[in-house]
Each structure stands twice: as C-alpha cells, then as structure tokens.
C-alpha cells in the first residue's frame, strides 16, 4: 500500500535544489537553509555549464556518467515512481555498488522555466529541497541506522541522488517469515526494535521528522542491521504538520485524520514505529488481521512466546495510543521493560550485537525490482515517460 502526502498535489518524489550541470552539490555536511526555489533556480541557470551529450535529444538516459571524480555505471531498476526511478549503479572510483535516485527534471520545467505558477507549485519544489536537506541531516547525525547522501548532481534532464546500496527491506523479511509460517525470534525483534528507536531518536534530536516509517523503508545492511531510508515526506524544523495526513495508510496516526488543523510529527513517528513493532510482533499473521473495523488496535498475546509477551504488547499499545499527548517519549521507550534487563543501548548504537538475520542477497545484481513510489496526493500526477 502506498503512502499519501496530502499537503500538495504531487507524488512524493522530492528532489534537491538544482546546481550546475553534472556538478557535485554535497560539499556541506550540515543542512542548508531553504531558499525560494524560483530565485535560486534562475541564479543557477546563469551559471550552468552543459556537456554536448546532455543536449542530444535522442539520449533520454545516459548509462554511464562522471561527476566529481566518480564514474557511475548504471544497471537495473530497483524501484519506480511517477517522476523517477531508483537504479542500481556501480561506482568505479570507489569499487562499490550504490543506489541512485533519478528524477526527470523536464517534468518540472517548460523551456527551462520552472513550472511553479502559484504558491502550491512553488511549495512542491520546496519539498524537493527538503528531501535533500533531510538526507544531509541524516548523514550529519552520525547514526549507523540512518543513510548518507553520498552525492547530488544533475544534468539538463535529470537530478541524481546517490545513496548507499541496501539489499532487502524489513518488509521482505516479514514476508519471508510469513511464507515459512514462522514468528520473529524474540532476540531479533528486540534488537531491530532498538535500532529503529535509535534511528528515530537521532532524527528527532536534529529536528527531523520522517513521516513515513514502515517496513518498506527499513532496509538491511549486508551485516543485518536496519537503516531508515526514504526521506521524501520528511519534515525538518518545528515538526508541526498540516492536517490531512502524510505517510502510508495504516501508519498515519488517528489525530492526522480527525479534523484538527495540525498535528505533531514527533508523535506521528512514534505511532508509526508502534505499527512496525506490531507487525514484527504478530508475524506471521497478515497485516489485514491487525486492524479492527473501527480502527482500534488490539495486541494479542503471542502464545509462542514463553515470557515477555505482556510487556511487548504493553509497549506497542503505549506507542500507538490514540491520544498523542500520552504516547511514550523516547526516554521512557528506552527504559521500557521490553528492552530491560539485558539490552545495552551503547552496544546497540555501536552495533556490537551481531544480527540474527543476515540478508541472503549479497550480489548487487541479485536484488529484485521494488516499487518505491509511495504518495497519492489530492491532485492528479504529472504524466511523462521516465528513464528507460
């Protein structure tokens, strides 16, 4: 099920503020303040340098590109969206696979002029900047459970966001358990829950709110640790979100849809984190079995657990409280009996606990295509052909 973001009338492929043609724009290690898009973009147009190959009308997509000392060779598509794709690529200069999010900028421009005609459109372009800034901020936290934006560059047709390559998602892991009719081991569940908590805590400490926490956005590293990815719906700043909901149905908190004008991004992330823990807790049950017809959440006791099932259920219920004012804050979450005794948060942060689940998919070419687009907004999407 896809995510929704009802703030604006576009899909959530949020891309970064433009920079000169095929030039790096990732020198800063801390987020830059947002600037009005049109003014900034027109300034960048004056300084743009263009390679002849970028101007070839029949060259819709370049399968090799050089930027800032890196030579990227593109491979298969890992995910698709209305405005772009995520492709597997090989960074020859670093001898490593990477994932590159590629967005067709021509869908946002007409004859080189921004399509922003009103405040809503201009705001949509600001959302593009927000994803880049959120990724920069995530990398600046130093958390091993958050991604790093390795590079950002562009040519006349595409924006490119270069990120680390991950292999399978928590959603894949849960599906694997369902297919084999197995529960998630208690130690595995507790470790991954702790990693998610630390990822969200680091983001919130730096004033960033993810707004789309779900198993599909939690990726495994090759050593089996979780990383929270996809910041296309994130909010940097106060964390006060407009009414209507932002995120994926089922993970959006009830207060986002109850008629109030604003709600807390902090409390929304806590709620979504609770839903993810609930799915791990109830596996191998299907997601459709989790929610009642009236939207209430019931956390049953897992009979396969011989201990700690009550405190696990208690933690999940307190994370998913209907009243956002009484949801657990981070300090109390980390002190919850579900994690104690036995869990050392410093060891989790330093990844000193070995993961009980190592992804089988060690070859970059072996990963199957995933669908990454996750937003349905109020207005129709922009049609157009993306990378082929």
Digit-coded pLDDT (tens) for 148-173: 999 888 777 788 889 999 888 999 99
Give the pair of three-digit tokens for residue 256: 């986002």
Residue 101 labelled as part of a binding site: yes
298: exposed, middle or buried (Cβ count in 10 Å: 0-12, 13-18, 19+): exposed
Note the pLDDT of residue 276.
95
CB 99, CB 164: distance < 8 Å: yes
The CA radius of gyration of the chain, in Å to the nearest whole number, is 21
CA distance 283 to 171: 11
Note the pLDDT of residue 81.
62
Note the pLDDT of residue 93.
73
Please write down the HEC assignment for all residues of the chain: CCCEECCCCCCCCCCCCCCCCCCCCCCCCCCCCCCCHHHHHHHHHHCCCCCHHHHCCCCCCCCEEEECCEEEEEEEEEEECCCEEEEEEEECCCCEEEEEEEEEHHHCEECCEECCCCHHHHHHHHHHHHHHHHHHHHHHCCCCCCCCCCEEEECCCEEEEEEECCCCEHHHHHHHHHHCCCCCCHHHHHHHHHHHHHHHHHHHHCCEECCCCCHHHEEECCCCCEEECCCCCCEECCCEEECCCEECCCCCCHHHHCCCCEEEHHHHHHHHHHHHHHHHHHCCCCHHHCECCCCCECCCCCCCCCCCHHHHHHHHHHHCCCCHHHCCCHHHHHCCCCCCCCCCHHHHHCCCCCCCCCCCCCCHHHCCCCCCCCCCCCCCCCCCCCCC
Per-residue pLDDT of the chain (388 residues; tens, 9 = 90+): 555 443 333 333 333 333 334 444 433 334 434 334 434 434 443 443 333 333 333 445 567 777 777 788 888 888 876 566 888 998 877 778 999 988 777 666 444 455 444 444 454 456 667 888 899 999 999 999 999 999 888 777 788 889 999 888 999 999 999 999 998 888 899 999 999 999 999 999 999 999 999 999 999 998 999 999 989 889 988 888 888 778 888 899 999 888 788 999 999 999 999 999 999 988 877 655 555 544 555 566 555 444 566 788 889 989 999 999 999 999 999 999 999 878 999 999 999 998 777 877 544 444 433 433 333 222 222 222 222 2
Note the pLDDT of residue 200.
98
Note the pLDDT of residue 124.
45
- Quote the pTM value: 0.73
Note the pLDDT of residue 302.
55
Go through the domains of the chain in sequence order and give each one's CATH number: 4-165 (3.30.200.20), 170-364 (1.10.510.10)
pLDDT tens digits for range 29-46:
344 343 344 344 344 434
């Amino acid at each position: 099920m896809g995510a929704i973001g009802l703030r604006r009338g576009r899909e959530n492929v949020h891309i970064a503020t433009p920079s000169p043609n095929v030039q790096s724009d990732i020198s800063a290690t801390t987020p830059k303040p947002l600037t009005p898009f049109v003014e900034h973009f027109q300034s960048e147009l004056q300084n743009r340098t263009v390679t002849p190959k970028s101007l070839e009308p029949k060259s819709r997509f370049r399968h090799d590109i050089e930027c800032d000392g890196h030579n990227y060779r593109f491979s298969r598509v890992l995910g698709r969206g209305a405005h772009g794709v995520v492709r597997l690529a090989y960074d020859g200069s670093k001898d490593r696979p990477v994932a590159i999010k590629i967005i067709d900028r021509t869908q946002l421009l007409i004859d080189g002029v921004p399509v922003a005609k009103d405040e809503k459109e201009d705001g949509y372009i600001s959302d593009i900047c927000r994803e880049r800034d959120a990724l920069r901020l995530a990398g600046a936290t130093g958390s091993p459970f958050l991604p790093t934006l390795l590079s950002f560059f562009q040519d006349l047709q595409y924006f490119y966001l270069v990120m680390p390559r991950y292999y399978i998602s928590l959603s894949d892991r849960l599906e694997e358990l369902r297919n084999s009719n197995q529960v998630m081991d208690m130690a595995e569940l507790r470790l991954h829950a702790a990693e998610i908590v630390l990822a969200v805590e680091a983001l919130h400490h730096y004033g960033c709110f993810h707004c789309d926490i779900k198993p599909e956005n939690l990726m495994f590293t090759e050593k089996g640790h979780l990383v929270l990815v996809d910041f296309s719906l994130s909010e940097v700043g106060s964390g006060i979100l407009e009414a209507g909901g932002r995120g994926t149905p089922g993970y959006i908190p009830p207060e986002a849809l109850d008629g109030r004008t604003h709600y807390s991004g902090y409390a929304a992330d806590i709620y979504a984190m609770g839903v993810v823990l609930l799915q791990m807790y109830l596996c191998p049950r299907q997601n459709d079995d989790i929610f009642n017809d009236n939207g209430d959440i019931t956390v049953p006791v897992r009979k396969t657990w011989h201990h700690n099932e009550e405190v696990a259920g208690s933690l999940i219920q307190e994370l998913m409280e209907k009243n956002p004012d009484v949801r657990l804050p981070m300090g109390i979450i980390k002190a919850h009996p579900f994690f104690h005794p036995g869990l050392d948060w410093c060891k989790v942060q330093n990844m000193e606990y070995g993961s009980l689940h190592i992804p089988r998919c060690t070859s970059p070419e072996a990963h199957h295509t995933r669908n990454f687009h996750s937003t349905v907004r109020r207005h129709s999407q922009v049609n157009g052909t993306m990378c082929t």
